[in-house]
Amino acid sequence: MSKTTLSDQQPIDLQTAEPLALAQALANQLAIGPMDWHRLNSDRRIRAKEQVAAALVYLLNDSPEEALPRLEQAVGWLNRSIKAPPCPTHGERK
């Protein structure tokens, strides 16, 4: 399988695509969307994957200073030293 399609983008040829485009596609696929936030925000594996993918995008953009905190977050999720913050919308008065 050498091509993949993201729902909102053109097909990507995995053999010829630039690494940054591949990393961005991966980060988009692994990002937790608003509709899934409450269900997945405490899933350590999913959160770690999301952070590692984001870090890779920053590394490929020559921004290691932005990648490092995301890698640290990923490690924190995996070693259980961090936990999900409370939902920012809970407690809001409308």
Q: For residue 1, what pLDDT is reported? A: 43
Q: For residue 8, what pLDDT is reported? A: 55
pLDDT in tens, 30-87: 999 999 988 999 999 999 999 999 999 999 999 999 999 999 999 999 999 999 887 7
Distance from C-alpha of 44 to C-alpha of 26, rounded to nearest angstrom: 18
Q: For residue 37, what pLDDT is reported? A: 87
DSSP H/E element including 16: none
8 Å CB contact between 63 and 92: no
The domain locations on the chain are: 3-79
Q: For residue 78, what pLDDT is reported? A: 98
3-class DSSP state of 12: strand
Given a cut of 80, whether residue 6 has pLDDT beyond it is: no
Distance from C-alpha of 15 to C-alpha of 84, rounded to nearest angstrom: 37
